[in-house]
Structure 1
Amino acid sequence: MKPPFCGLTALFVGIAMLAHAQEYLPNPSMEGPSRANFPPEPWMNCGPGSSADTQPGQLGITKIAADNLTCIGMVARGDDQFVPPQAGSTEGVGAFLLDTLLAGEAYDLTFSLSYDPGFIWEGIDFGNPCRLRIFIADGECNKKQEVHLSQPIGHYPWREYTFRFTASARADFLIFETAFADESDRQSCNLFLDAGRLRKSYETEPVEPMDTVNVQPDTLCQAYLPNAFSPNDDGRNDTFRAYLACEPSRLRLSIFSHWGGKVFEGASPSQGWDGRIRGEPAPGGLYTFVLEYEFGEGLKVKEYGQVSLLR
């Protein structure tokens, strides 16, 4: 793997996207036929290891995509489970952009990330979280600038991330690549990517760039949502709500029925769904939730998932 390029400029920011802003990503929803070893077109394999997959439906993965039908799945291969040259290898995908990024211009990149802790294939346990490394490039898979290295993505529900970077040179290609959570103890891991957006930044106030970005996991506001609840007034698991590791500046929890109708919306962590629709007990079954919250210096997170209402 090539060493990271200097001049990393990436800030997590909360950004209101313009409705008609130019989109630079092709096939941003990562849609394509489910296939192992092939990402959805026009995305192509750029990793130094093996090939990425179009999921779900391959290698035992049943995870629902964040947007529409499919997403991209990638892994990294640890030292304990593999021997060289596979040991320590990562996967990556890239695509030519719809327009050229210009040196000195700021851009806003949004995408949804997740992982599957139960990912085991052919006896190999890939159920550890990977990091995501992002590059801009000049030409096919020709890395020019590393613009972001995420914290380990250790959540199964989808979360949406937005950050800003400034291009140090002209670029017409974008690369997403897996990275190990700990380079000194490389464990096999997995990562899922979906629902991307790349647009020119129209923030009116200038953002001072940081020389480096090193976001520690304990500075993030992790959220926990149970996968089931039983509103039977026994004092245990009677409501479905989000539990956060910090006090968010803004929060919205929306819950939808199987038919897509909204059955609940809450605007604070203390507000939970009591399993009723217009005052009447809702039928048992599977419901979909969307959790959106903001914390810290404008970092926005969006999670998608499902919860079982037990009667």
Structure 2
Amino acid sequence: MDRSLRISVNLWIVFILCIPSVTVNLLAIVILTRGKCGLSTCTTCYLVAMATADLLVIITEVLLTRVRYYYFPRSFLDITHVCRINTFLRRASTDCSVWFTVAFSFDRCVAICCLKLSRKYCTGKTAAVVLSTTGTLLCLKNIPFYFTQEPVEVINNVPWGCTIKPNYFTNPIWIGYDWFDVVLIPFLPFALILLLNALTVKHIIVASHVRKRLRGQTKGENQSDPEMESRKKSVILLISISGSFILLWLVYVINFFYYSITASNFMGYHSAMYIFSQVGYMLVNLSCCTNTFIYGVTQSMFREQVKKALKYPITSIFHFMNK
């Protein structure tokens, strides 16, 4: 009964996470790299990096870990060394997904609030340096996770399976590292995204009031202002990103605090807390298909490129049939 329940849960994960996430992120990468969305080189670099990191999370966390465990047991991916590498990759890709979002929020904050600095900072070259440096540091930070795993069993001198070493939960160094990992993901990104977006929204509101006065508008007038409409869209975009990130990570954070404070043990697959923890992991993975969607779909030219991409197979078939 437990196994059937777990298989059902993973089947939902496949449909809810894999199919839309892989499709959205692959489509976003292809469309953005073509450079026909009217976005700057800097913005395109961040969006492509975010989509790539999100795609890697879905592949390593959902496909190679959860789906593989239930549907393809005893494959070469169960060899301990391969399993350790996958643990490192899914940790690193999740961190990159989060911190690339922070880096992009900082870039947009600089572009809107610091016009002089934006001329030097908001460039494609700077974006490439920031993304490569951030990615490298996060990969180095996650190397210790490779050594937290030990084999479940040894068959014909080949270690199989991965399980967390017992001293990971008792050794003060590992406990400190675990808290450092949680502070880095997601507490610090929470704070930074909220701060950066608050500064950006405040600047947009103040600039909008100044612009109204300069245009001589009064409360009774309904003059259209394209610049103000663009700023309103920016505020909505920033609030959507912040709210989406915080809400989708909130269950994971609550679950971490609960187990850290109460030191609760695993109670079985039917336990309410186990289900709660799995929902938290699912929502964290779900966040990997929202950022690119929110950033990209709000751009009208991006939507046009998506429509063209979706229509292309049909138009190609009709064109081929008419020949």
TM category, shorter? under 0.3
Of Structure 1 and Structure 2, the greater helix share is in 2
Of Structure 1 and Structure 2, the greater strand share is in 1
TM-score (ref. length: structure 1):
0.27
TM-score (ref. length: structure 2):
0.26
